[in-house]
Structures are given as structure tokens and as C-alpha cells.
Chains A and B, each alone.
Chain A
Amino acid sequence: DTGVSQDPRHKITKRGQNVTFRCDPISEHNRLYWYRQTLGQGPEFLTYFQNEAQLEKSRLLSDRFSAERPKGSFSTLEIQRTEQGDSAMYLCASSYGQGGNQPQHFGDGTRLSIL
């Protein structure tokens, strides 16, 4: 169990640029989640996948955000035309099974800073 891996750890970019983050879940985990965390807040749900299917998206996920998990393994989160308000920590988590009782295991996150 190598844990959930996220890349990059930090991303600094200018407003208006596109950014892409990658998440590699724990290998046997079928569920993958993306959360966003701003300073002084708890993580807020963005979207999640079961295998390669994107099953739910939060209203926080504007049309500038897109997420994929093409082969049911790693996932990418892309933000187009970044805005100042996108500055946050983006956390990925994975879990195994079907129910909400399965604990989610988190990566160390990607911290995005918009200049």
C-alpha cells in the first residue's frame, strides 16, 4: 500500500492559464474523490468516480473544471482559465467498495496559487 499520490505538490500560475493535476489512488481502490480545501475550512467535495465513471459532481465544479479517470486508475483534474478564487489545496482521496462506510484515504494534496 503506497498510499494516494498527487502531483504536483505545488503549482503557481498566472490568472487565465490552464492547470492539470494528477492523482494516483491506492491500487485496488475503485472509488476516487476530488475535494477542494481553502484556508480555515474543511475539504469540500468536487466530484467522484467509481472506476472510470464520474458519478457525481458538486455545484462547486464550474464548467471550467473537468475531471477524468480514463482507465479507472489515475485521475486528472483540469482547471481552465484559472481565476484568483481557484487558489486552494486540491485533495484527492480513494476508497474501496460501494458504501459510504468505507474510509477514504487522502493524498497530500496539490496547492494551487494564482498570481
Chain B
Amino acid sequence: AQSVTQPDIHITVSEGASLELRCNYSYGATPYLFWYVQSPGQGLQLLLKYFSGDTLVQGIKGFEAEFKRSQSSFNLRKPSVHWSDAAEYFCAVGVYSGNTPLVFGKGTRLSVIA
């Protein structure tokens, strides 16, 4: 069964600084990978997804992520963080079996300071 690890529970960055959120997955084949963002009291919004092809994927709100098969990682990056980026970020893995739902990591809470 697939699994996702987000090693950082909470990260604080200064506004304008760069950001990298880590995600490691466990799955025997090429997975489908997703990053979602959740603001307090809200549902999850899809930031970006990786299925195949180019290992660097671009998403909304200036986010990007890079799939590294050798490291089983799918880290999320943003070159310059805005205060509005403060939220909870979830990495998720899916597979093509057709009958398997997403498996989420426990999330990383991002705080942005002035």
C-alpha cells in the first residue's frame, strides 16, 4: 500500500523568502502525486499534480514541485512567499488501480512572518 511522509509539521518563513516543503512517498510503481492547500475551516484546493513526463510541474499561485524518482520525493517550492500563503499543505499519492483513493500525508503548517 502506498504511504506519504511529510517530515516537517510546522515551518515558519519570512515574507518574500523562498519555500520548500518536503514530501516523500512509498509506492512500488510510478505514483500520481498531488499537492493540496487548506486554509482554516476550508476544504482542500489542488495546487498541482504529477502524472508523467516532465518531472518539474507548475501549479497555481506560483508554486512548483519536482518529482525525483530516485529519492521518492515530490517537494513543493515557491521562490517568494506571500503572507496569504499561510495555510496547511498536504501531499497526496494516488495510483491507477482505479479503485484506490488518495493517501494523504499529515500536512505541513506554513506560517509567514513579516
Contact = CB atoms under 8 A, between A and B. Distances in A.
Contacts of B49: 101, 103
Interface in B70-87: none
A103 B43 contact: no
A54 B60 CA distance: 32
Contacts of A40: 106-107
B98 A100 contact: yes
Nearest to B90: A42
A35 B45 CA distance: 15
Given A56-B101, A107-B43, A100 B95 contact: yes
A41 interface: yes
Interface of A: 4, 6, 33, 35, 40-45, 48, 55-56, 91, 93, 98-101, 103-109, 111
A105 B106 contact: no
A87 to B, nearest CB: 15
9 contacts: A42-B4, A43-B102, A43-B104, A48-B101, A56-B99, A98-B98, A100-B32, A100-B94, A107-B43
Q: How large is the interface on B (under 10, 10 to 19, 20 to 34, 35 or more residues)?
A: 20 to 34
A45 B43 contact: no
B36 to A, nearest CB: 8
B96 A101 contact: yes
B43 A106 contact: yes
A43 B90 contact: yes
Contacts of A4: 43
B98 A105 contact: no
B51 to A, nearest CB: 5
Nearest to B31: A100
A100 B96 CA distance: 5
Nearest to B100: A100
B88 to A, nearest CB: 9
A41 B107 contact: yes
Contacts of B44: 43, 91, 93, 106
